Amino acid sequence: MSTTTKPTILILCTGNSCRSHLGEGFLRAALDDAANVQSAGSKPAGYVHPLAIKVMAEVGIDISAHRSKPLTEFLEQPVHTVITVCGNADQACPIFPGQLNRHHWPFFDPAKATGSDEEILQCFRNVRDEMRRVFEAYAAGLKDALKSR
């Protein structure tokens, strides 16, 4: 499938440091080359959270090369599907050119977890596992839909 025909799926959260990168990692892994999967933030933090990178590595997905970027990078290009993973991003989300679908799947922000280092790490793992179930199920449905085109 050529780059021009691949649908762009944009995953948004406020800081683009944790949840959106977890979702991007799972969708990229599940969809292979079937879609252009990206993530962005309404107020990007400027970094990908080290614990997000760590917990994704635990399940064999490397997001260490991801970068935190603003959603404005995508306003001039067609975006097929927008998935917001936090309430703030859902409220701040503009309509993108060519947008056909929008989903809002809110997840707890593990960057706000408190407690011991182990408790915070466990929170990241819990959010990762919850997001994995949702994003892998979505990817399976999308792959079926793309096959039937």
Could you read off the pLDDT of 30-47 as tens digits, one per residue?
A: 998 889 999 999 899 999
Q: Which of 52, 86, 89, 139 is catalytic?
A: 86
Q: Which of 18, 22, 89, 93 is catalytic?
A: 93
Q: Which of 15-24, 63-72, 128-137, 138-147 is predicted with the least confidence, judged by mean pLDDT?
A: 138-147
CA 128 to CA 122: how far, in whole Å? 10
Q: What integer pLDDT is reported at residue 111 of this predicted model? A: 93
Q: Which of 13, 56, 79, 89 is catalytic?
A: 13
Mean pLDDT of 117-135: 98
Q: What integer pLDDT is reported at residue 39 of this predicted model? A: 96
pTM of the model: 0.90
18 is annotated as an active-site residue: no
Spans of all domains in the chain = 8-140
Mean pLDDT of 110-124: 97
93 is annotated as an active-site residue: yes
pLDDT at 90 over 60: no
**Candidate ranges 30-39, 80-89, 128-137; pick with highest mean pLDDT:** 128-137
Q: What integer pLDDT is reported at residue 1 of this predicted model? A: 40
Q: What integer pLDDT is reported at residue 102 of this predicted model? A: 87
**Count of Cβ atoms closer than 10 Å to residue 139 Cβ:** 21
Q: What integer pLDDT is reported at residue 56 of this predicted model? A: 98
8-140 folds as: Rossmann fold (3.40.50)
CA 18 to CA 68: how far, in whole Å? 9
Q: Quick one: 41 exposed, middle or buried, by C-beta within 10 A (0-12, 13-18, 19+)?
A: buried
